[in-house]
C-alpha cells in the first residue's frame, strides 16, 4: 500500500511521523555561536545586538524574558543559519542570567542561558596609556614558553621551533611568568600582537589572520588565562594593550564557510589585493576607484577584507572591541592596518570606544612617512574634507623613520640630525602630538640595532631620544639585549625568540646569564633610562624646546615649572665642548646640573661656559638650583 494511502487511513501514524520529524529537526538544531559571548549591565549605551549562528536558526522566533531587558527586534540574514537579536538593557537591569528562547510556533526548540555581568568598579573611567608610559611590544609566540603548555588539540599548525615562520610555542603562561622582568625594566604597558585564534595552515603565529574574534588561540592559552595575565600585569603597574584587527580576518574564519551576507566581505570578480595607496583616502584630486582599490582590496589571499559598511558587521566589530576591553580590563587598544577599513566606520568605532571609556587610549597603525597623512586620523584634526576622527593616538611612522635616518646619515643641510629636527618641527600638523606613539622598531621593521649597523652608541642615542621626546615611546621585545636581524625585511628573523624564554636556552636575558658585555650594557642602559623616566613630569606633561642641529649635535629640552631637562646627542667621533651661550632661552648662568646616566655633576658659569661632549654620546642633564 502506498505511504500516502496508509497515512490517510491511519491518522495515529501520521501524527507519530510528524512528531518524529519535529523531534529530529529539533534534535539536529544547535546553537553553534552566540556573540558577544556575554555582556554587562550599566554600559553607556543600552543597546546590544546578538548574532546567533546554527543550522537553519534564522527561521525561529526568539523570546527573551528578564527584568529590565527587552527584545526590540530580530532579523534573519541572507544565510538561513543566522539570527540577529536587538536587545535593550535598561538602567534597572541587574546582573544575572537571562534565557534566550528560540521557538517554532509554540514549540520551544532551543533555550540558551546568557550572562549579564556586573562591571568592575571604575571600569568606565579606567585610565588609558599616555605620555607617562613606556610600551613593551611582544610577539607572544616568540617571547617565552611557560609550562605546562596549554592543550591545543585540533589546531592545524603545531609547534616547530626550527622553522623561522613556524610556531615556536610561546604562550600566555610564559608572558605571565616574566611580568616581573617587564616591570623591572621600567615598562608600564605591554602590547602583545594578536592573541585571538589563528587556525591557519601556516604562519599562524603572528596572529593577524583571526579565525575566531572572541577566542584566545588555545596554543597561547584560554580567554581566562588572558584575563588573569592582564590582572597580574595591573598588580605590577603594567597595563595591557590589545591588538585588534578591524580590517580583515583569516581565510579559515568560520564565517568564510557560511557568510552571513554576500557583502560581509568585499567581493571582486577575481582576487584583488589592496593597492596600498593609503594617500588615496586624503587626496583632493583622487578618484573613487582608487580609494576603493585601497580600502576594499584584500590584504592578502589569506586575509579576506571585511566590509564595515555592512551594518550588522559594523555593530559586531564595535561590540567585539568593547567586549575585550571590559572582559580583560584593558588600558588600550592598538588597531592594525587602521586606514584600510571604511573611514566612516572608523569614526563611528573610535567614537563609541571613547563614549564608553572617555579616558581610554586607542592607537592606530598608519604606515606612512608623511605627517599630514598620519595627522588626518587623529582626534581634533580639522581636515580639508570635513572628516572627523575620534582616535586619540596614531603610530608615528614619520618620526620613527626620521630618527633612524638622522643617526645613520652624514650631517648636511637636509640629512642627518636635520631630518630629525624637521620631522619634529612638523608637529604643527598634529592635533595632539604628545599622544602619538613613536618607536625604535616593531614586528614589521628590521631590528633597530641592525638598522643602526650594530652601533651601540647610536642605540643609546635612539633610546634616549625616545625617552625624552614629546611622544609615548614603544620598544620591541629583545631590543634591550640587541636582538638583531637582516637590514632588509625578514619577518622570521625580526620576530626571533627572546633568549631565555625556552627551557635549555644557553643565553637568558631574563637573568643575564650568557649575555655578552654589549648586551648587558644595552639592557642596563634602557632599564635605568626608563625607570628614571617614570618620575619625570617634565617629560610626561612639560613643553618641548629644541634647537637646530649644528656640527653633529642636536639639543632638546623638556620643561615643567622649575624643572628643566636637557638631551644632548653628539655624533662626532671626538670629544668636544657645547657652548651654553647657544641656548639663552633655556640655560642660565649658575644653574646646577647633573648628568642622569653617569651621575656627573657641576654648575654652569657665565654664558661663555661649556659642557663636555664625549664622542658619540647621548647625555641627559637635570638642571636646577
* 3 domain-assigned: no
Same domain, 141 and 226: yes
Q: Are residues 142 and 232 in the same domain?
A: yes
Q: pLDDT tens across 147-192, in order? A: 988 988 889 999 999 999 999 999 999 999 999 999 999 999 999 9
| H or E element that contains 98 | strand 96-104
pLDDT of residue 21: 37
CATH number assigned to the domain comprising residue 454 = 3.20.20.80
CATH number, residue 46? 2.60.40.10
Judgement on whether residues 158 and 213 belong to the same structural domain of the protein: yes
Q: Is 487 among the domain residues?
A: yes
pLDDT for residue 30: 87
CB atoms within 10 A of CB 17: 13
Tell whether the model's pLDDT for residue 19 goes beyond 60: no
Instruction: Tally the C-alpha atoms within 13 A of residue 56's C-alpha that lie toward its C-beta.
Output: 9
**Beta pairing class for 196-197 and 212-216:** antiparallel
Give the pairing type, strands 69-76 and 82-89. antiparallel
| Whether residues 529 and 549 fall in one domain | no
Q: Is the pLDDT of residue 7 over 70?
A: no
Residue 207 scores a pLDDT above 90: yes
pLDDT tens digits, one per residue of 48-94: 999 999 999 999 999 999 999 999 999 999 999 999 999 999 999 99
Query: Which of 7-21, 201-215, 341-355, 518-532 shows the lowest mean pLDDT across its residues?
Result: 7-21
Q: Burial level of 543, CB count in 10 A (0-12/13-18/19+)?
A: exposed
Mean pLDDT of 463-477: 98
545, 527: one domain? no
78, 99: one domain: yes
Element of type H or E holding 32: none
Copy the grid coordinates of residue 435.
599622544
Mapped onto helix, strand or coil, the DSSP state of residue 379 is coil
Q: What confidence tens digit (pLDDT) does each residue in 367-379 have?
A: 999 999 999 999 9
pLDDT at 616 over 60: yes
Last residue of a domain, one of 534, 560, 591: 534
φ, ψ (nearest 5 deg) of residue 75: -145, 140
Which stretches of 204-347 are assigned E, i.e. beta strand? 212-216, 239-245, 332-336
Residue 325: burial class (beta carbons within 10 Å; 0-12, 13-18, 19+) = buried
- Comparing CA positions, the residue from 80, 88, 76, 81 lying closest to residue 49 is 88
Please give the share of the chain, as a percent, with pLDDT higher than 70: 96
Residue 323 lies in a domain: no
Q: Are 115 and 141 contained in the same domain? A: no
CA dihedral in degrees (335, 357, 213, 397; nearest 10)?
A: 10
Q: Which structural domain range is residue 47 located in?
A: 31-119
Q: Residue 25 above 60 pLDDT?
A: no
CB 82, CB 96: distance < 8 Å: no
The answer to whether residue 229 sits within a structural domain is yes
Average pLDDT score over residue span 117-126: 97
Q: Is residue 618 part of a domain?
A: yes
Distance CA 365, CA 276 (A): 13
**229: cis peptide before it, omega within 30°?**
no
How are strands ordered across the β-sheet holding 107-117?
39-40, 107-117, 96-104, 61-65
Q: Which of 12-16, 138-142, 158-162, 526-530 bottoms out in mean pLDDT, i.e. has the lowest?
A: 12-16
- Measure Cα distances from 533 to 188, 442, 473 in Å: 11, 21, 11
pLDDT for residue 14 is more than 70: no
Residues 105, 174 share a domain: no
526 & 550 share domain? no
CA dist list (Å): 120 to 124, 142, 158, 327: 9, 32, 37, 9
CA angle, 487 then 369 then 296, to 5°: 100
Cell of 185: 625594566
* Contact status, residue 213 vs residue 242, Cβ threshold 8 Å: no
Please say which residue of 477, 502, 534 terminates a domain.
Answer: 534
DSSP state of 264: S
Q: What is the dihedral of CA 208, 214, 219, 220, to 10 degrees?
A: 80
240, 331 contact by CB (below 8 A): yes
Q: Which pLDDT score, from 0 to 100, does residue 624 have? A: 86
End residue of a domain, out of 119, 142, 172: 119
Q: Which residues are catalytic?
A: 336, 365
| pLDDT at residue 407 tops 70 | yes
- Position 29 scores a pLDDT of 80
Q: Are residues 485 and 508 in the same domain?
A: yes
Find out whether the peptide bond into 148 is cis, omega within 30 degrees of 0.
Answer: yes
Q: Of 45, 76, 44, nearest to 61 (Cα)?
A: 76
**pLDDT of 306-348, one tens digit each?**
999 999 999 999 999 999 999 999 999 999 999 999 999 999 9
DSSP for residue 326: H
What is d(CA 218, CA 365) in angstroms, rounded to the nearest whole number?
27
User: Does residue 13 carry a pLDDT above 90?
Assistant: no
On the question of pLDDT at 483 being above 50, the answer is yes
The pLDDT value recorded for residue 28 is 59
Domains in the chain: how many in total?
3
pTM above 0.75, yes or no: yes
Amino acid at each position: 500500500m502506498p505511504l500516502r494511502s496508509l497515512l490517510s487511513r491511519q491518522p495515529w501514524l501520521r501524527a507519530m511521523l510528524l512528531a518524529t520529524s519535529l523531534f529530529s529537526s529539533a534534535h539536529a538544531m544547535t546553537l553553534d555561536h552566540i556573540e558577544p559571548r556575554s555582556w554587562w549591565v550599566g554600559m553607556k549605551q543600552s543597546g546590544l545586538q546578538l548574532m546567533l549562528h546554527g543550522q537553519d536558526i534564522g527561521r525561529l522566533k526568539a523570546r527573551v524574558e528578564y527584568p529590565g531587558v527587552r527584545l526590540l527586534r530580530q532579523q534573519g540574514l541572507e544565510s538561513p543559519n543566522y539570527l540577529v537579536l536587538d536587545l535593550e538593557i535598561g538602567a534597572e537591569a541587574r546582573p544575572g542570567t537571562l534565557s534566550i528562547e528560540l521557538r517554532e510556533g509554540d514549540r520551544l526548540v532551543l533555550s540558551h542561558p546568557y550572562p549579564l555581568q556586573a562591571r568592575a568598579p571604575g571600569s568606565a573611567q579606567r585610565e588609558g596609556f599616555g605620555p607617562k608610559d613606556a610600551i613593551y611590544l611582544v610577539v607572544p609566540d616568540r617571547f617565552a614558553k611557560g609550562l605546562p603548555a596549554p592543550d591545543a588539540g585540533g589546531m592545524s599548525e603545531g609547534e616547530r621551533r626550527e622553522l623561522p615562520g613556524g610556531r615556536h610555542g610561546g604562550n600566555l603562561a610564559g608572558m605571565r611568568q616574566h611580568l616581573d622582568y617587564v616591570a623591572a625594566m621600567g615598562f608600564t604597558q605591554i602590547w602583545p600582537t594578536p592573541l585571538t585564534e589563528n587556525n591557519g595552515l601556516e604562519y599562524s603565529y603572528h596572529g593577524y589572520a583571526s579565525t575566531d574574534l572572541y577566542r584566545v588561540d588555545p596554543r597561547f592559552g584560554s580567554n581566562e588565562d588572558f584575563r588573569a595575565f592582564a590582572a597580574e600585569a595591573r598588580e605590577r603597574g603594567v597595563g595591557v594593550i590589545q591588538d585588534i584587527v578591524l580590517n580583515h580576518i583569516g581565510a579559515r574564519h568560520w564565517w568564510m564557510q557560511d557568510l552571513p551576507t554576500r557583502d560581509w566581505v568585499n567581493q571582486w570578480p577575481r582576487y584583488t589585493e589592496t593597492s596600498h595607496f593609503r594617500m588615496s583616502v586624503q587626496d583632493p584630486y583622487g578618484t573613487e576607484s582608487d580609494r576603493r582599490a585601497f580600502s576594499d582590496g584584500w590584504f592578502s589571499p589569506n586575509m579576506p577584507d571585511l566590509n564595515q559598511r555592512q551594518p550588522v558587521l559594523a555593530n559586531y566589530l564595535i561590540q567585539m572591541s568593547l567586549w575585550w576591553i571590559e572582559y580583560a580590563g584593558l588600558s588600550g587598544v592598538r588597531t592594525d592596518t587602521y586606514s584600510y577599513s571604511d573611514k566612516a566606520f572608523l569614526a563611528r568605532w573610535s567614537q563609541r570606544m571613547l563614549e564608553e571609556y572617555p579616558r581610554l587610549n586607542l592607537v592606530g597603525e598608519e604606515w606612512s612617512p608623511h605627517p599630514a597623512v598620519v595627522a588626518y586620523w587623529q582626534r581634533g584634526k580639522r581636515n580639508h574634507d570635513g572628516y572627523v576622527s575620534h582616535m586619540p593616538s596614531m603610530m608615528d611612522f614619520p618620526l620613527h623613520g626620521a630618527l633612524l635616518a638622522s643617526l645613520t646619515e652624514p650631517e648636511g643641510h637636509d640629512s642627518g640630525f636635520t631630518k630629525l629636527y624637521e620631522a619634529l618641527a612638523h608637529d604643527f600638523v598634529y592635533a595632539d602630538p604628545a599622544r602619538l606613539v613613536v618607536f625604535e622598531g616593531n614586528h614589521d621593521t628590521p631590528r633597530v640595532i641592525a638598522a643602526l649597523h650594530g652601533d651601540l652608541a647610536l642605540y643609546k642615542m635612539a633610546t634616549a631620544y625616545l625617552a625624552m621626546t614629546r611622544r609615548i615611546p614603544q620598544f620591541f621585545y629583545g631590543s634591550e639585549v640587541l636582538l638583531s636581524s637582516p637590514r632588509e625585511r625578514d619577518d622570521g628573523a625580526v620576530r626571533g625568540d627572546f633568549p631565555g624564554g625556552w627551557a635549555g636556552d644557553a643565553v637568558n636575558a631574563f637573568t643575564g646569564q650568557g649575555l655578552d658585555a654589549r648586551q648587558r650594557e644595552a639592557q642596563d642602559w634602557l632599564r635605568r633610562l626608563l625607570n628614571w623616566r617614570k618620575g619625570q613630569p617634565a617629560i610626561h606633561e612639560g613643553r618641548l624646546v629644541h634647537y637646530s642641529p649644528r656640527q653633529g649635535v642636536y639639543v632638546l629640552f623638556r620643561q615643567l615649572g622649575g624643572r628643566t631637562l636637557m638631551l644632548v646627542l653628539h655624533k662626532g667621533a671626538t670629544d668636544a665642548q657645547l657652548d651654553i651661550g647657544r641656548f639663552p632661552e633655556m640655560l642660565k648662568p649658575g644653574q646646577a646640573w647633573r648628568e642622569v646616566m653617569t651621575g656627573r655633576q657641576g654648575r654652569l658659569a657665565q654664558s661663555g661656559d661649556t659642557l663636555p661632549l664625549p664622542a658619540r654620546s647621548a647625555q641627559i642633564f637635570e638642571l636646577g638650583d
